[in-house]
Structure 1
Amino acid sequence: MQRNPVAKMLLFGATGDLAKRMLLPSLYGLHADGLLPAALTITGSARGELDDAGFRKEAREALDEFLPADRKDDAAIGSFLDRLFFQPADLSDESTFQALADKIGDVSGGLAIFLSTAPSLFEPAVKGLEKVGLAGDTVRIGLEKPLGYDLASSREINDTVAAVFPEERIFRIDHYLGKETVQNILALRFGNSFFEPVWNARGIDNVQITIAETVGLEDRAGYYEGAGALRDMVANHMLQLLALIAMEPPARYDMTEVRDEKAKVFRSLRQMTPADVPHCTVTGQYLGGAVKGEIVKGYDEELGKDSDTETFVAIKAHVDNWRWQGVPFYLRTGKRMAVRRSEIAIQFKAVPHSMFAGRGGLLQPNTLVIRLQPEEYIELLVMAKEPGLDREGVRLREVPLKLSLDAEFAGTRRRIAYERLLLDLIEGDQTLFVRRDEVEAQWTWIDAIRAGWEANGTKPKHYPAGTWGPNAAVALTERDGVTWMDD
């Protein structure tokens, strides 16, 4: 991949929560490690009347609050703040863009724009940027979700952006793809010869993908009420994980080959009819309960009104192609769950014949667990014989072969996802960003599920906060003889 770093960066929403928690600490981390172009300037923009000094003050406060103690270095922070500038702008007011262009100046050396804003502001933003010369051939744009709420709105946004920026200069961000463990899925699958022969319907019984959160609405009530768990988590993060597990081996690790194979998976997802949806999906909404020993309110109480928005969804999905025919992919995500956990569990098929059955030995199918958070590890559960003379039969037990990425790479700093994604945006590498055809194939599948809920009058089933969701989610797998991995 030929890298083409830009000389300038523009952050819209530079005083918002994402910028303070993630973007500024990530850019500082890259700066402190000498990974940013030496002359790169970073101009923040938002509504308000901040100047350069005021923005630098806010940035320093954000770094003080959100940087780990071992990353704080006064000299590095000082030189990072010297890169920062600020220009107020209102994306809905076209007259404010010229001052922004004047502040940024010449963009012939390249400009990377990070746009994190409400979808309703995408059109005035890109049109305003184009009008003042901030959308030319040397400019690329990073788009933070949500990129629509369904296929129609997603296409509208994509058309709006595509009228100004060609696809090769659009970087759609899914921060899960920046996680080190997520990228390790590719290394695990395609860097080890022993997995590929069984990584298919002949060797795998089922795949489970879980993203469980213990938090409730927090400060996202306005967005979440209009989105729900399906749009918020499944339409992007979970389907991207599914694609990495299910994709065919790319010929090369580059932005075209990897995204081509992911797009094929999305196009192969079995579309659900309204008749399928009640049997293949479960929706839920949390009631009051206890999470980690703390009493919490239910969703409606937090929201302040009655709502039918789902805070939990479980789905039985299928990838209809040669490799995966007949293998169920169980997806599950929810808020106010029992624990915070993101993981993929791949259960292999049982051995075709057990030679130990006559001696009392009981076999369990092997399972590969890829834990994404809060810990990062890869664990293979294998059968082993318990020590002993076996006079009363052979005793077998499941034991873990565990690779802890935290321990194995203890001397290497674990970077947050946005560090990699921001660096890739600055350098022009689209491999870990989402292409338009991927997004639209995802929404096509999601919209069919929502249409099925509407056709069937589906309402979310309640579950107490601090549990693993509605009982119906257990039934979704158990009628197939499968149990969710909740341990």
Structure 2
Amino acid sequence: MKLMSKEKIALFTIFGGTGDLARRKLYPSLFNLYRKGYLQDHFAVIGTARRPWTDEHYHEVIADSLADLDVDDALVQKFASHFYYQSHDVTDVQHYITLKKLSQKLDDQYGLQGNRIFYLAMAPNFFGTIASHLRSENILTPNGFNRVIIEKPFGRDYATAKELNDQLSATFNENQIYRIDHYLGKEMIQNIPAMRFGNQILEALWNHDYIDNVQITLSEKLGVEERAVYYDNSGALRDMVQNHILQILSLLTMEQPANFDEDGVNAEKVKVLESLHQYTSDEVSTNFVRGQYGATDTVTGYRQEDKIEPDSTMDSFVAGKIMIDNERWSGVPFYVRTGKRLKDKFTRIDVVFKQPLTNIFQNLSAENQLATNVLTINVEPEAGFDLQMTGKQVGQGFATMPVNLHYQHDAQELADSPEAYERLLHDILNGDATNFTHWHQVAASWKFVDVIQKYWDEHQPEFPNYAPGSMGPQAADDLLTRDDRQWVYKD
């Protein structure tokens, strides 16, 4: 049988198939790949978890996860027929024997050619156990590809991350391990290399000679919600800076790779992450601030959230100044901030350019001030670019004014485009790890963050220190004020 060229062939095994991630992200993403033809007749999915479900109930769960999509019920049922459920204890070797038999049966039934993808949608402490049993019970195949997908958190620090990586590496090679960072699947994050390396007008200015500072803001309006238990053991620094923010920063600052592929991109990202200036304890206190939101009449404070300790010192906000010790970025500060219960939900990057050395128009009028050139990359909820420039006011005389050049992706086009998990699952099917985090990136990120976290662990914070609906504590503004700068996006 001749297959359509875009069809992908694989058996997915989802450990944690009854969980929230599977329902909210994985099943809708797989369905979108199915209705677009990337998955057709030659795929199957095994969902595993402790619950004693039947295949029929599992199909009902799949259908329910797609309820918000405007799709034909017959197509949903046909899609769900490719799903099989196995009640599974990841610590019980006998269950892996059963899993092996079911995997082989489905491989023969659907013609899967030994291609297997294992999604570990579970707590990281189970990763090593699962990987070990996949190897010992010969569930990996010699005739197809074997790929494993890992969700964050990937460790709590460098030591635990290395231990986890060593456990996985005993079964899988680095090119078989896909560490998902869903920010790397977002449209405007993937736009960064195109914007930089596809436009000489920007790349020629993309250095310390022309850029004054760069600001990265990941703002969340909600509190910890149902993630309270996880969050109170993680905090904003581990949950957002170590992965999402440093991944964005690496795309903004890496050198042009020899080729735009996983090897080229990974090599350059590693170089820049290993060039982050490692702070001393004294430098941490000056260059990084943390926060925790308080309560109002209508909003619950962090310490009053369900399952949060009343004296918790966990950070729900972090802002910092990051320096890169290389020639291109010498002296350029990268200001980052992220937090819960902020003014609104959005992600943006502001690249602030230096002012011209001379304002030749000021002799005409003191009002002829030059606007600071700022390139803003709007990641979400809107997606597009803004460039603030100086222009002349319309009319008699000569007066300057700030003007904004704006481009925004079409809303309907964005709605029809793949969601982050759909993009990344498609990349995994293609064996393309360009938009994934490789081990040496993870290692360099943790080494940078560990110094900050260690200092915070040794010093008691004064929490709560910012109000819900603000943009964080006053110290986050002071961080820039000391450098005679200010946030482009202000409260």
Which bracket does the TM-score occupy, shorter chain normalised?
Answer: over 0.9
1:6–1:109 CA contact under 8 A, matched in 2: no
Letter of the 2:84 partner, please give it: F
1:201–1:326 CA contact under 8 A, matched in 2: yes
1:130–1:136 CA contact under 8 A, matched in 2: no
Partners of 2:260 and 2:296 in 1: how far apart? 46
Deviation, structure 1 residue 95 = 2.7
The aligned counterpart of 2:381 is: 374
2:180 pairs, out of 173, 188, 209, with 173
Distance 1:460 1:446, change over 3 A: farther
1:410 pairs, out of 399, 410, 413, with 413
- 1:425 paired with 2:405, answer no
Partners of 2:176 and 2:477 in 1: how far apart? 44
Deviation, structure 1 residue 410 = 3.0
SS in 1 for 2:225: coil
The aligned counterpart of 2:16 is: 13
The aligned counterpart of 1:259 is: 266
Partners of 2:91 and 2:380 in 1: how far apart? 38
Q: TM-score, normalised by structure 2?
A: 0.93
SS in 1 for 2:87: coil
Distance 1:411 1:121, change over 3 A: closer
1:124 pairs, out of 124, 129, 148, with 129
1:20-419 equivalences in 2 (<5 Å) = 20-36=23-39, 38-65=41-68, 67=69, 69=70, 72-105=71-104, 106=107, 108-137=113-142, 138-289=145-296, 295-302=298-305, 303-360=308-365, 361-390=368-397, 394-407=398-411, 410=413, 413-419=416-422
CA shift digits 1:388-436 (9 cap, x unpaired): 102xxx32222211111135x7387222100011111122111111111
2:9–2:39 CA contact under 8 A, matched in 1: no
Partners of 2:130 and 2:263 in 1: how far apart? 28
Deviation, structure 1 residue 357 = 0.8
CA shift digits 1:432-487 (9 cap, x unpaired): 11111000000000001112223444455511111110001000011111111225
The aligned counterpart of 1:440 is: 443
CA shift digits 1:214-238 (9 cap, x unpaired): 1111111111011000000001000
1:3–1:429 CA contact under 8 A, matched in 2: no
Letter of the 2:96 partner, please give it: F
Letter of the 1:121 partner, please give it: F
Of 329-338 and 451-460, the range deviating more from structure 2: 451-460
1:362–1:396 CA contact under 8 A, matched in 2: yes
Letter of the 2:229 partner, please give it: G
Deviation, structure 1 residue 265 = 0.9
Gaps of 5+ in 1: none
Distance 1:4 1:352, change over 3 A: farther
Distance 1:227 1:157, change over 3 A: same
1:190–1:196 CA contact under 8 A, matched in 2: yes
Distance 1:333 1:411, change over 3 A: closer
Q: TM-score, normalised by structure 1?
A: 0.94
1:287–1:297 CA contact under 8 A, matched in 2: yes
CA shift digits 1:94-127 (9 cap, x unpaired): 3322112211114752101111111111121111
The aligned counterpart of 1:462 is: 465
Letter of the 2:260 partner, please give it: Y
Distance 1:53 1:101, change over 3 A: same
2:115–2:141 CA contact under 8 A, matched in 1: no
SS in 2 for 1:20: helix
Partners of 1:209 and 1:412 in 2: how far apart? 24
Letter of the 2:92 partner, please give it: D
CA shift digits 1:131-182 (9 cap, x unpaired): 2222345311011111100000000000000001111111111010011110
SS in 2 for 1:378: strand
1:4–1:428 CA contact under 8 A, matched in 2: no
CA shift digits 1:52-78 (9 cap, x unpaired): 11111001011104x3x3xx2323322
Structural RMSD (CA): 1.8
Partners of 1:37 and 1:153 in 2: how far apart? 39
1:273–1:452 CA contact under 8 A, matched in 2: no
Gaps of 5+ in 2: none
Letter of the 1:28 partner, please give it: F
Partners of 1:384 and 1:410 in 2: how far apart? 32
CA shift digits 1:19-44 (9 cap, x unpaired): 11111111111111111253111111
2:9–2:113 CA contact under 8 A, matched in 1: no
